[in-house]
Amino acid sequence: MGCNGFKDNRTAAELQLAPAKPLLRNTAVVGNLHFGAAPGAISSGVSLSSATHASVRDALAAKSSLSTLSSSMTDSLQQFDAQSSSLLSGRSFNADTSVFGLASTATVQAGGFFSASDLTQMSGMKAGALVAGSIAAVTLLARRKKKLVNLTARVGVALSAFSIAGALVKENYNRTPYPLEEDLDLPNCSRLAQGDEAAQADPILIDKRKFTRTGIGVAVGKPSTWTRHVTSRTDLLKGFTALPGFSSALNMVFKDRKNQQTWSEPATPYAAEYPSNKATQTESGHAVEFDDTPGAERIHVFHRSGSCVEMHPDGKVVTKLMGGGYIVAEADLHVSVKGVCHISVDGDANIYTKGKLDLQGDEGINIHTKKDFNVFAKNINLRAKAKSTLDGTIIDLRYVTLPGIPVVTTSGIAPTLNMAAMKKDFPEIHGQVCKAVLEHKVEMARLKAGVIAKNATIETKAALQGAAIGPTQAAAAVAEGAAMIAQNVDTMAMILKLQSGIFPTGTAPKFEFPALTAEQEPVENPLGNPLAYIATTSAAATYRTLFFDTPQEMGDVELYQAHQQTQLLLGDIESVEPKLGGAKTTPVTGIVAPASLPIVNYLDRDTYRGNFSSDPEQTLGGTSFTYGELVDSLSRADVANPHITEPVTI
């Protein structure tokens, strides 16, 4: 059966102008690649992942399609005036461009007016009698031209603003007349209102589930064992999303904990049952739902791009912005969160205030980055009420770099100074320091001069004594000279060592560092060392036991069990201990599903159609009722839906 005589007679041009649901919705995973001023220009140096590549491909395809449409619209517009002249001169015009109620064979009567018979409704029915001259061809053509101009402008704007960031909507430019094929044999109310299979097959519900984002990372403030692992210098496991060859439980934890903590967008709680969901879906793919289904009450506003606001049965509100979003407050804006607030940004984030920016964390503030942490200010004031700690492999204080070459002063050890930087910023102090250095050099020179003088004395003494005195005295003088030489050698050595920062034995200052507390001690992350999973020695087993049973691991059942299973796989332990309490239950049912359901032959309209003929005046079995007064089975209300082409069993 057809559609009760209904036929959608819209022309190709009309269909192209009409709204239609998108063929495909998607989200772009690339946030920084925009077409901008140079459409399609993507740097060849950009390395794209497979997901990104797919997005770019879809975007380019959509852009190409849009471009084709734009070109087609522009051509159509350019030919419009010529076609209008042709039409107004009385000639028939191209059927493909016939729009707005003009039959393709319409001709213009004298005076530029259409006759009533030239007007055709969209349904294919002739319009009723019209007052001659009530619709001027010029008016109709002007309307049509305006529509074409508007559409061309819209497409042009869409093309110029095209970006592969955010929502990607693949339009259906090959639109088909109503009823759409996918809507055949279905009620004309919204699929979302119908519930059940009809709703589950609705693109809105499918796409909402597809676009539900999970595993969104949460800032942890400070490095954890997991983040230390993925940011380790060795970088051995950084590229892995799973540890190859190990238990799924561990890999699950590994994947989840790479970001330490995650949150996910709640899935749509759609569970509508007919007739509780008051839903409206429009031609281009928008939807509004007021769902009163008990236990699944929702309000949902959905845009064809996928952007939506959904209020859940428990009062949660999920707002999704497929094409980005803006909040513009012309006055104060207040945000209050009673629970935890997570803000996760895949790209860069900026907070800019023209006034003062205050950050306050009553329980502490942690800032964590895997790369540089830079602070630029006119003055930086750091005040600690108790302890202030600055740690680093190298600490560069502009004038002093630690560890540098230590030198001994009268008050202890001092690092060498960056004299050039100091001279530039503090020439006065630089002069004082230079003076001190000069004095130091003078002292060194004095020491050296003393040594040289002593050496000269020794030589003189030896020469004189060797010439003028007896052998015994000469030997004593030589011995005294030798002792002085040795003394000089020691002095020289001390000078050299001091110059190079080495302290003579026994003179090095001793520093008493306090012992580190347990919290301060660096915790080695077992997962950061893949060898921990490979070695089979008893030492390795002990190592694993030690690290897998830390308080942190023991406090996390999921993590603990994953590690226990890993140890089990590696043969470190024979069973997972401690086991969880309780007994595992197995559901038992006595109900056995039948192999096949009984076949019931219900009577339907085809059973009756054409099988009965009677005189409408004939009375029914001794009553005053006639056949004519009986309900006509062919027009029963429950089988009269124009969209139902097959017999319906009630």
Residues that bind other proteins (CB under 8 A): 187-190, 193-195, 198, 274-275, 278-281, 616-617, 626, 628-632, 635-638, 641, 644, 648, 650
CB 287 within 8 A of CB 302: yes
| Distance, CA of 498 to CA of 407 (rounded, Å) | 7
Structure-block tokens of residue 571: 């043969």
- Report, in Å, the least distance between residue 4 CB and other proteins: 14
- Convert 333-387 into a string of H (helix), E (strand) and C (coil): CCCCCCCCCCCCCCCCCCCCCCCCCCCCCCCCCCCCCCCCCCCCCCCCCCCCCCC
Closest to other proteins by CB, 198 or 434: 198
Q: How far is the CB of 19 from other proteins (least distance, A)?
A: 14
Dihedral over alpha carbons 474, 475, 478, 484 (to 10 degrees): -120
CB-nearer residue toward other proteins: 55 or 281: 281
Distance CA 578, CA 223 (A): 29
Residue 419 tokens, joined: 């004299």
| Span between the terminal Cα atoms of the chain, in Å | 19
- Minimum CB–partner distance for residue 628 and other proteins (Å): 4
Q: In angstroms, give the least distance from the CB of 187 to other proteins.
A: 4
Nearer to other proteins, 124 or 642 (CB): 642
Of 21 and 229, nearer to other proteins (C-beta) is 21
The Cα–Cα gap between 400 and 417 comes to: 5
Question: Taking Cα atoms as reference points, which of 349, 209, 324, 348 lies closest to residue 265?
Answer: 209
263's tokens = 């949150």
Strands (E), 375-494: 395-396, 401-402, 407-409, 412-414
CB of 190 to other proteins, least distance (A): 6
The least distance separating other proteins from the CB of residue 30, rounded to whole angstroms, comes to 37
Residues 192, 282: Cα–Cα separation, whole Å: 12
Nearer to other proteins, 185 or 235 (CB): 185
Q: How far apart, in whole angstroms, are the C-alpha atoms of residue 468 and residue 474?
A: 8
Give the integer Cα–Cα distance in Å for 639 and 321: 43
Q: Which two tokens stand for residue 111?
A: 């005076």
Q: Which is nearer to other proteins, 29 or 189 (CB)?
A: 189
Rounded to a whole number of angstroms, the minimum distance from the CB of residue 309 to other proteins is: 20
Nearer CB in complex with other proteins: 113/178: 178
Residue closer to other proteins (CB basis): 195 or 269? 195
Q: Distance between CA atoms of 442 and 364, rounded to whole angstroms?
A: 53
Query: Which H/E stretch holds residue 76?
Result: helix 50-88
Residue with tokens 């104060």: 332
Nearest approach in angstroms of CB 632 to other proteins is 7
Cβ closest to other proteins, residue 188 vs residue 517: 188
Report in angstroms how near the CB of residue 302 gets to other proteins at its nearest. Answer: 15
Smallest gap from residue 282 Cβ to other proteins (A): 9
| Residue number with CB closer to other proteins (190 or 268) | 190
Residue 443 or 629 with smaller CB distance to other proteins: 629
Strand, coil or helix: 291: strand
Report how far residue 49's alpha carbon sits from residue 520's, in angstroms, rounded to the nearest whole number.
40
In sequence order, the β-bridge partners of residue 619 are: 626
Ramachandran class of 511: left when φ > 0, alpha when ψ lies in -120 to 50, beta otherwise: beta
β pairing state of 412-414 and 401-402: unpaired
Least distance from other proteins to the Cβ atom of residue 196, Å? 9
